[in-house]
Amino acid sequence: MSHAPSEATMAEIAKLIGFDTTSRDSNLPLIDYVVGRLDALGIDSSLVHNAEGNKANLLATIPAADGTRSGGIVLSGHTDVVPVDGQTWSSDPFVPEIRDGKLYARGTCDMKTFVAVIMAKLESIARAKLDEPIHLAFSYDEEVGCIGAVDLVAAITEAGLKPRGCIVGEPTSMRVVRGHKSVNVIRVDFHGVAAHSSLTTQGVNAISAAAEFTAFVDSAARDFAQDGPFDDAFIVPHTTTTVNQIEGGIAVNTIPAVCTLHFEFRSIADDDPIELIERFRLEAKRIETAMQERNPEAHVEFEVLAKTPGLDTPEEAGIVALAAQLGGTASPDKATYGTEAGLFFNAGIPTVVCGPGDIAQAHAPDEFIALDQIVQCEAFIDNLIVALSA
C-alpha cells in the first residue's frame, strides 16, 4: 500500500474544504459542485432541500451493469462542519496544510475526507461493471442534530432502493463500529411570575423550578449509573443525562419570571428513548402543576430539539463482515458519539460507521487527519468497487 494519498484525493479534499459549510451557512455551493461532477459522468442525482431552500441533501445511485438500481451499498457522509469561532488555528482552517504527516483544516477529520475519497474514485465507480449499485447519500446539518439525514433516509425508502447495507464514513480510525447511543436534546422553558425579591410570596421563581428539574435529571443520571442497564462495549456503559445550559433572571432583587435549560440524554439500546422522554416530560408537568398552585399564570414548555436514534447493528450482519473484508478493522467497541447511522438502521438498513481519522481531532482547533488514514480509506473504497464488481 502506498504511504501517500493520491493527488486526485488531495485535490478533492482541498476543493471540499474550500467550501465553508459551517452548519449555520448554506452547503449548496459544495452540493452543486458534486452534482456537476456526477452530471459529467452521466450519473443522475436528486436533491432534498430544507424548508428554506438554502441547504440540500444529495442522493445519487450508480447502477449495476445491468441497470439495477435497488439493493447494493450506501456510502453516507455529512457535508457540514462545526464553527471555528473562538478557536486559535496555526494555519487557515479552510486551506488544507500538511505538517508532519498530517493534513490540517476544518473538516479533514469530520468528515470531508471520506466524501473526498469517494469523489476522487467516481470515475472508477462509474467505469466498473458493478453487480449491484452504489448509492451516495450526502447530508446537511448533521452537526446540529442529524437534521438533514431524516429526509435523506426517507427519500431512500420512498425510492424503493432497499440497500443491503450502509457505511457511514465518520472518523473511526477505519475501525468497523456497529453501535452507538441515541442522542436526545431537550429544551425546557420555566415561566414563573416576577416580583420584587422582598415580596417572595407574590412571585413564582422560575430559576427554583429549573433547579428542581435539574435535580431530577441528576438523580436520573445516578440511577442509570447505579442500576443500569449496562452495555460494556461503551466507554461509559450506561445511559447518561446532563443539564448543559441554563439561563434565567434579570436582576439580583427580582424574582425571575423566566428560566430556560437545555439537557440531553444518551441512551443505550436497552433503554427506550421514547419512554425516557416521557419520564422527563412528566417531571416537567409535575413542576408546572406545583407552580400553578401558587399562580395559575405560571407554566412550563417542554420541547425535544433533536432525537438521533441509536445504532445497534448485530455482529452477524453482512455489512459488518463486508466492511472488515474491505479493510476496516474489526472492533467490539461502540462509539461514544452519535451519528446519522442510527437513522439508516431505524429504516431497516444494516449500517456500520467506518471512516478515516480520529474522533479526538473532530471539532478541535488545528483539526487534522493522518495521511496514512487517507491512504487506508482509498484502499477501502477501491476494495468496495472490486467486491461489488462482476
Provide the pairing of β-strand 311-312 with 195-196: unpaired
Distance, CA of 18 to CA of 106 (rounded, Å): 10
Helix (H, G, I), strand (E, B) or coil at 166: strand
Q: Which of the following is catalytic: 80, 151, 283, 378?
A: 80
Q: Which of the following is catalytic: 12, 141, 142, 340?
A: 142
Phi, psi of 48 (to 5 degrees): -120, 105
Contact indicator for 250, 256 with CB cutoff of 8 Å:
yes
Distance, CA of 279 to CA of 271 (rounded, Å): 12
Among the listed residues 92, 234, 116, 175, the one whose alpha carbon sits nearest the alpha carbon of residue 358: 175
Catalytic, 7? Answer: no
Helix (H, G, I), strand (E, B) or coil at 377: helix
CB 181: neighbour CB atoms within 10 A? 29
Distance, CA of 194 to CA of 152 (rounded, Å): 45
At residue 166's C-alpha, the angle toward residues 172 and 241, to 5°, is: 55
Q: DSSP state, 141?
A: -
Catalytic, 97? Answer: no
CB 206: neighbour CB atoms within 10 A? 25
- E strands, the chain, in order: 45-49, 56-62, 73-78, 97-99, 102-104, 134-139, 165-168, 175-176, 179-180, 182-191, 195-196, 240-248, 254-255, 258-267, 299-308, 311-312, 329-330, 351-353, 368-370
Helix (H, G, I), strand (E, B) or coil at 361: helix
The three grid cell numbers given for residue 270, joined into one nine-digit string: 436497552
Phi, psi of 312 (to 5 degrees): -150, 60
Give the list of residues 6+ apart from residue 271 with CB closer than 8 angstroms, or none.
224, 229, 239
Catalogue the active-site residues: 80, 142
